């Protein structure tokens, strides 16, 4: 249903460093950089960050990135923690979502709830 998603950041450089690091274990990378907006993806930019344009405080967003396997979820989490992200939930199975839902949740530099999730068994 979604073609792409964009969020605004308080500090584009800090957020770019964060997403450069944490998206790599998921197979995504920086594909486009327009100085005021950066697009990430695997073959086309479907996740964008840009400099905040209004003085209004941002509201927390929840962003879940697909992971190929559970090891990628754990690598995402470890990379995020090493980058200084606040831990929301360590990698684990979330049976309340479904029996194979394996996810990890952290806060990005702007306070967003960012998750990596794998829906495959083991």
Instruction: Give tens-digit pLDDT for 9-32.
Output: 999 999 999 999 999 999 999 999
Instruction: Name which residue leads in pLDDT, 56 or 73.
Output: 73
Instruction: Give tens-digit pLDDT for 71-97.
Output: 999 999 999 999 999 999 999 999 999
Contacts of 42 (CB under 8 A, 6+ apart): 27, 28, 29
User: Would you state the pLDDT for residue 69?
Assistant: 97
User: Would you state the pLDDT for residue 93?
Assistant: 98
State yes or no: pLDDT of 3 exceeds 90.
no
DSSP state of 95: T
């Amino acid at each position: 249903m979604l073609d792409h998603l964009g969020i605004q950041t308080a500090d584009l450089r800090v957020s770019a460093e964060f997403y450069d690091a944490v998206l790599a274990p998921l197979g995504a990378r920086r594909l486009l950089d327009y100085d005021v907006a950066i697009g990430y993806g695997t073959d086309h930019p479907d996740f964008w960050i840009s400099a905040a344009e209004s003085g209004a405080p941002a509201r927390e967003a929840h962003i879940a990135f697909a992971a190929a396997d559970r090891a990628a979820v754990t690598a995402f989490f470890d990379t995020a923690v090493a980058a200084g992200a606040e831990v929301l939930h360590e990698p684990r199975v979330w049976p309340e979502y479904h029996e194979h839902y394996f996810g990890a949740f952290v806060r990005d530099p702007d306070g967003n709830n960012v998750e990596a999730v794998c829906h495959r068994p083991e």
